[in-house]
A and B are shown apart, each in its own frame.
Chain A
């Protein structure tokens, strides 16, 4: 049983560019959450998707957007990249039936903005 898979694992972009990160949830999971983790910090909540809708959003600007597909996979899009967007982006899946908060994380996408 594959866990949460994220792609790509590493990405280098320049300021002003746009990026799309992808996530496939653990089999049987229906909820996807995205987190940003800066070096030496805990994860910061970006948003959560359930039933293809953004269910809750953290304190991130509109440059951060997402999507959930009918097969529960998800994308995170970031427009007009800033140097400060450099971080590890973590996708986590969960199943509403046992509690959305029991998150299973992927290994993340390391984004570097130059």
Chain B
């Protein structure tokens, strides 16, 4: 099935570094969401975006709904060990009312 293009696939970062990841599609999306999944758990909602250009924060996390409506970005500032996990973008297209389409995830790993 279709998936969003999420990059990078994985990131090795030092504690305290800022992190950026993005999600792109060839289709226009009405809603973008960012979720985080830790081992043995289901994804947890971090941020939801509903309008092109919208910038929303949740603590050290900031996400943006791209102007073209075909992309979204997530930034994490001053990373800490508990940020480790897999970050997924998910989107809702106009022709698919109740379905979320997901990226393959960005795996965040903290260097010891």
Contacts and interface: CB of A to CB of B under 8 A. Distances in A.
Contacts of A90: 42-43
Given A92-B42, A107-B40, A108-B42, A102 B101 contact: no
Contacts of B45: 102-104
Nearest to A108: B42
Interface string A80-101: 0000000000101000000111
Interface in B80-112: 88, 90, 92, 96-105
A interface: dominant SS = loop
Contact of B48 (A44, A50, A58, A101): A101
A52 to B, nearest CB: 15
Interface in A38-64: 40-45, 48, 50, 55-56, 58-59
A48 B97 CA distance: 11
A105 interface: yes
Contact of A101 (B3, B6, B33, B88): B33
Interface residues of A, number: 26
A56 B97 contact: yes
Interface size class of B (residues with CB under 8 A): 20 to 34
A33 B104 CA distance: 19
Contacts of A41: 3, 104-105
B96 A56 contact: yes
A107 B42 CA distance: 5
Contacts of B40: 107
8 shortest A-B CB distances, which residue pairs?
A105-B42, A42-B102, A56-B98, A45-B99, A48-B98, A44-B1, A43-B102, A59-B1
